[in-house]
Structure 1
Amino acid sequence: MAAAVVRGGPSAFERAHGMPLFDYMGTNHRFNTLFNQAMSQQSMMVMNKLLDRFHGFDGIGILVDVGGGSVTLEMIISRYKHITGVNFDLPHVIAQAPSLPGTKSRNFLTSLIPIHFTTHAPQPPSPVPANME
């Protein structure tokens, strides 16, 4: 383990499967579904507590969830009806994301976002565009 950390390079997952985790999820529907279900359950637990205590969404008009699946955004816009949500994620995540009132789903790899500004979506693992922070 220590040698792998010092040596660097691909993650253990990438060494075992020949590609990074999120690329693999795009090729394996069963694994992608299981991963997204686990993340959704974790997000629900965290967001229930956060929304009970945090009230900083009152002045937000548009909320972009970058790489968050759909649960977090869904929970926020269900409580704050005035917010327009944008689900900005990878194609295989968008394909499984539910259609929600007040949201727009955008493909992280290929879409343009026509909401008060237009930007090209980054190619992962690029950082989040500065105008979307």
Structure 2
Amino acid sequence: MTGVPLKHQRIGRILAMEIRTGGHPAGERLPGEHALAARFGVSRTTIRAALAELTEQGLITTRTGKGSYIVFDGRPPDDRPGRAPAPRAAHRWPGWPGSGTPSTAWTPRWTKTPASASRNRGASACGQARARRARG
């Protein structure tokens, strides 16, 4: 299956071509997910993946509850005021591997703590009461 584009990639290419050739002018709202899903005969999940690719390419912007709008105006993304493409790492959690931010800001819960930190962490009140009862 190498070299065969996935459904969302094919849909993204079709929509990107329509946007770049002027089929949809800047500022225009794209049809909703339901309408696009019916047009292409795919699920809304596939449409969302295609719209996410268009957003990464800087062709559209999506607002929750409002829809997707064309931001492409014929100029490369670097030439548009305030529209430099965001790095892919900007969509990740801070400190996540590959995000470009120091990992000291966030540490996963499953990392091991030093032995001194795990020792004497403090027993719960319930645990202390049980220990007292067991001792007599």
Q: Same fold (TM over 0.5)?
A: no
- TM-score, with structure 2 as normaliser: 0.25
| Structure with higher RCO (Cα < 8 A, 6+ apart) | 2
Kindly indicate which of the two structures has a greater share of residues assigned to strand: 1
TM-score by length of 1: 0.25
